[in-house]
Structure 1
């Protein structure tokens, strides 16, 4: 039996107060989950209309009355957490492709208060839009600009806008992109003033490991446990944090924050952001290719391997932690780092390494390269575990074929998809480059990193040596040489 309005009728019909751009598991496993929790406590009493940017099929949602199950598993404050919650905060799911007029209509509702998004780091970029087109704009900033314009023209007040994309100062970045859209489209100055003065663009940080929907025997076991089938079921760790930058005006609107200590509203969220970005996401990014190519499918598998656990621990605590910004106490950094290792080891979650490789190049640039630069500023020498992670990234990006616009690498005779905007570049370069040449071409590409990484003394040689060794003796063998620095 599939979960539905008949089998699990909603116990509320709250007005739509939130519009959310994105249907990903992180939004559903954290933001929508927390709003649902507040609704069930009678503290927010608002539902979410979700915009699906890609594709036109929303049957997975509509067939289930837009409900889904969030299975929380893990250890929190020493206690085992095993909780299954039906999240019913989503009222409907619209597609930008087919429902753009309906999406603009939501802007005209006086009840609408909040805009949430997660379009990945790639989503917060400028894209020239056609102001005369009646179709949905291509980019998220373009869509948001059009949505805000519809609200302004309806004579309504501003809203609280909370991007959750993992970009430093994502609120400021999104606001700048919207203001650029207004300027480039030559929209009215009065509209620009309204966007500037009446809306709150809040930088935010989301921190929860949400691997998504399990498969195979685990999924069947969960279906037996909850007593129904759910095509949108997701798993999430027990830990959760949604840090939102804002003052009292924001706090007065985001009343769902009072329902869970995992929601923090603060005038400055720098420490929360830097800890998560540099000590959770950066090691994830640096380790995903190395662990995947070494034969580990999930994060917990790698952490249960003595060698890889040691490698990850040394990388985090001796290279990444000391490179954190100086204003954050090293004791806090080290404690957070050790907590992260425990979260990686969560026996209840199967977080796939391959899924972390999505938009790999962009993630390295945003999450890891700033730490590399800081490390050189502090120590002036090569971070050898970091360089091995970088070498594994280059090897992962070695596509062996292209089909229908997608690029595929090969591991032990099996193909894997390379979901990266730079896959075509690497495909071409790998055709005619050895490890040393490829390393130089990649590290010197300022379009990737906004800096020439070959200028970092010794880094290019270290990465090239590790890459060559990985190609000859294997990735795990290179990772095994914990005391051999190249």
Structure 2
């Protein structure tokens, strides 16, 4: 069976977000999932994701004030491949089947690597370099357009990924036609995703909250891969992006910093950790004194107070075990994007942000 969606990344977030939506949506979309990390320990997940019977996603929490606890079966994933072992087949699917590309390669996914300089594919290349080689193969086969929907938590992620791929391309080739194809014919989409996915279900599947959002910024050639209540086509992502990145994600990273400053002991989950009076007081002070005053001066910032209330309710979800140790992965990059970028945004206002500045200084 052909798979019009090729997805780079096997994370539990994708399992309970895009893969679920593409299973439930109209039209239902079939996916080839590509493991990009080369981690042999995750190879068992590939087979489980593509099992004919599907895999479970358990949604637990409160929706409109009422408890939700239900299990959905995801059947959209039809094929699992490894970029390290199955590259020729990855290329074939990308060239012959794919109409949409999804990626969630982690907070360090766009960073260049020495292997990017290789004229031929190497498994240790960065994701932008891998994508360049795939686009070059697609162009050589006729150059059909393709929609690329990055899901990494990077501001203007479509533009950022396009810039990273073009940087690789310009170092690799002088082929004007290929460069024009990448720059003008490929559809690079800015998108923003939001859902707390707290626990894995082995060998595949996840536990997630009811809230879910996949916001896709409108533009020439931009189409959503399917229709689903959680998928929204929006004129401008900026307001949604700022709220999520600098309230919800910032709060998670602040909690990790507090935990690490306390020694990083135990294995706390967000709902338990935030219930500690000292932690709640510290987080509230940052939100009230260093975050909300900035949003009050930003266009569209009047929604920040309501978004903060929703965020704190999501943090306290009694059904989710969202481990701080999981959130702490790639902590330095998260501090830079979630807090450092917010400090830059706030500079013109001259507001005091000593606690956030200390977190950035400590991570550096």
TM-score (norm 1): 0.69
Structure 2 distance, partners of 1:86, 1:298, is 26
Q: Which runs of 4+ in 1 moved over 6 A?
A: none
- Contact 1:74–1:346 (8 Å) recurs in 2: yes
CA offset at residue 68 of structure 1?
A: 1.8
1:64–1:282 distance in 2 versus 1, CA, 3 Å = closer
Structure 2 distance, partners of 1:186, 1:64, is 36
Structure 1 distance, partners of 2:212, 2:168, is 34
Of 339-348 and 26-35, the range deviating more from structure 2: 26-35
Deviations 1:53-112 (A, max 9, x none): 122452233156443211111112222211101111111111111101111111221x42
Secondary structure at 1:143's aligned position in 2?
helix
User: In structure 1, which of residues 386, 406, 412 is the aligned counterpart of residue 356 of structure 2?
Assistant: 386
Quote the residue 1:47 is aligned against. 30
Structure 1 distance, partners of 2:349, 2:48, is 55
Structure 2 distance, partners of 1:283, 1:191, is 42
CA offset at residue 278 of structure 1?
A: 0.3
Equivalent pairs counted in the alignment come to 356
Quote the residue 2:46 is aligned against. 61
Structure 1 distance, partners of 2:235, 2:316, is 33
More relative contact order, 1 or 2 (CA 8 Å, 6+ apart): 2
Q: Does 1:121 align with 2:107?
A: yes
User: In structure 1, which of residues 201, 209, 212 is the aligned counterpart of residue 188 of structure 2?
Assistant: 201
CA offset at residue 213 of structure 1?
A: 1.7
What RMSD in Å do the two structures reach over aligned CA positions?
2.3
Note the 1:336-347 alignment, pairs <5 A: 336-347=307-318
Deviations 1:300-320 (A, max 9, x none): 002222332232222223311
Quote the residue 1:33 is aligned against. 20
Quote the residue 2:275 is aligned against. 304
CA offset at residue 362 of structure 1?
A: 1.1
Quote the residue 2:254 is aligned against. 286
Q: Does 1:89 align with 2:91?
A: no
Note the 1:204-353 alignment, pairs <5 A: 204-213=191-200, 230-247=202-219, 249-251=221-223, 254-256=224-226, 258-260=227-229, 262-291=230-259, 294=262, 297-324=268-295, 326-353=297-324
TM-score (norm 2): 0.90
CA offset at residue 267 of structure 1?
A: 3.0
1:86–1:151 distance in 2 versus 1, CA, 3 Å = same
Structure 1 distance, partners of 2:243, 2:49, is 37
Secondary structure at 1:19's aligned position in 2?
strand
Structure 2 distance, partners of 1:350, 1:390, is 27
- Contact 2:46–2:81 (8 Å) recurs in 1: no
Deviations 1:110-150 (A, max 9, x none): x4210011112211123352453354461100111111111
Secondary structure at 1:120's aligned position in 2?
coil
1:33–1:368 distance in 2 versus 1, CA, 3 Å = same
- Contact 1:324–1:371 (8 Å) recurs in 2: no
Structure 1 distance, partners of 2:222, 2:103, is 17
- Contact 1:18–1:113 (8 Å) recurs in 2: yes
- Contact 1:321–1:334 (8 Å) recurs in 2: yes
Of 77-86 and 170-179, the range deviating more from structure 2: 77-86
Structure 1 distance, partners of 2:299, 2:14, is 28
Name structure 1 gaps, 5 residues minimum.
Answer: 1-13, 215-229, 395-441, 443-486
- Whose radius of gyration is greater, 1 or 2? 1
Quote the residue 1:454 is aligned against. none
